[in-house]
Amino acid sequence: MGRIVLDQVNKSFDGVEVIPPLDLTIEDGEFTVFVGPSGCGKSTLLRLIAGLEDVTGGQIHIDGKDSTQLAPAKRKLAMVFQSYALYPHMSVRNNIAFPLKMAKLGRDKINSKVMAAAEVLNLTDYLERRPGLLSGGQRQRVAIGRAIVREPKAFLFDEPLSNLDAALRVEMRLEIGELHKRLATTMVYVTHDQVEAMTMADRIVVLKAGNIEQVGSPLELYSKPKNVFVAGFIGSPSMNLLEGPEAVKLGAKTIGIRPEHLSISDQEGVWSGIIGVSEHLGSDTFFHVKCDAFPEPITVRASGEVSLHYGEKVFLTPNHAHLHLFSDDGLRIA
C-alpha cells in the first residue's frame, strides 16, 4: 500500500515561498511523474514527501497516517537519487544490504534478499565490486536495488536518468517501467524531460514555480492542455503557439497547433510561407516555416521523407479538430 496525500503542503526557504499551498493525491500503485522546467519546485516537492525537507505548512499523509513530522527513515519510502548516492566505501552487496542492516534483519534473510534483488537487476557478477568500478547504468541499478530490497510503500525517483547517456537512458526507462509493472508499487518520479514523463507515467503533474499547472494522464495533457504553459511544455517538438490577427479571428488570444496537425503543400493551403531550416529524421521530416500571418516560425511535421527545400514557398493547413484556443490569461477556451 502506498497512497500519498498532500494537503495544503507548502514550503518557504528563508521567507521565500517556493511552493505555495498545494493539494495532491497519489493513488496506490500509480506511476506519477512530476515534470517542469528547472527551478519549478518538483525536486523540493519530492524531498518534502521523502522527509528530507520539512514542510512549512500543511500535512502529508502516507497510507492514511499523518507523516508530516516523521523522520525520513520512518516513512517507509525509498529514494533513488540523480547522483546515485551509493556508499563508495562499501561493496555492491553491502550497498544493497545497508537498509536491511539498518532494519536489523538476520544475516540469512539479508543475504537471500540481496541475492534476489541482484538477480532481478543483473548485478550478480558485480556484488563484490565497489561502486567506483561500475558504469553509470550499473550504479543506477545498484541504487534501485538498494531501494527495492526494503519493499517500501513507495519509490521516489529524483531525476535518476539525467546522468546517463541517451541510449542507456532509453534502456533504463524501460527497465523502470518494467519494474513498476512487476512490483505494482507506487512510484513518484521527478524529471525535467517531458519525453520521460510521457512514456513512463500513469499520471503527470506539471509544475511551474511551485504551482500545479495540470494533473492528468499523458494523453489528456497532450490533447487537452489546460493552459498555454502545459501546451508548450508537453510534446516534442513543442506545440506552435501563435498570436496575431489569425488568432483573434478565431476568438482567442493564442492558438495552439501541434506540428503533426498541420499539413504542408507546395500547391495550396490556408497560410502561405517560406521554408527555413528542415530536420530530416528519416521517419519524419520537420520543417520550420516562416509564415506571413505570424511573427514566429511554425514547426510542421511531415511523415517520411518529403523533398521541399530551403527558401521554397509552401502552404500550411491546420487540422481544425486539433486546434487549441487560449484566452488572454492563457487558459484553454476550446
- Residue numbers at the binding site for another protein (CB under 8 A): 50, 52, 71-73, 77-79, 81-83, 85-89, 98-99, 102-103, 146, 150
Residue number, 79 or 221, with CB nearest to another protein = 79
Neighbours of 188 (CB within 10 A): 24
Tell the smallest beta-carbon distance from residue 87 to another protein (Å).
6
The candidate with the shortest Cα–Cα distance to 205, out of 29, 6, 20, 32, is 32
Closer to another protein by CB, 100 or 241: give it: 100
Terminal C-alpha separation, the chain: 38
- Grid cell at residue 95: 550497498
Q: For residues 76 and 301, which CB has a smaller minimum distance to another protein in the complex?
A: 76
What cell does 263 get?
A: 499539413
Contacts of 329 (CB under 8 A, 6+ apart): none
- In the bound complex, what is the minimum distance in angstroms from residue 99's beta carbon to another protein? 4
Please, what is the minimum distance in Å from the beta carbon of residue 166 to another protein? 24
**CB of 10 vs another protein, minimal distance in Å:** 21
**189 vs 229 by CB, closer to another protein:** 189
Residue of 161, 155, 158, 139 whose CA lies nearest to 91: 139
Q: Crossing angle for the helix pair 136-148 and 92-102, nearest 10 degrees?
A: 20
**Closest separation in Å from C-beta 50 to another protein:** 6
Is the Cβ–Cβ distance between 194 and 233 less than 8 Å?
Answer: yes
Q: From the CB of 102, what's the least distance to another protein, in Å?
A: 4
- Closest CB to another protein among 82 and 317? 82
Which contiguous run of DSSP H or E holds residue 205?
strand 203-208
The DSSP string of 87-109 is -TTS-HHHHHHHHHHHTT--HHH
Q: Which residue, 95 or 254, is less far from another protein as judged by CB? A: 95
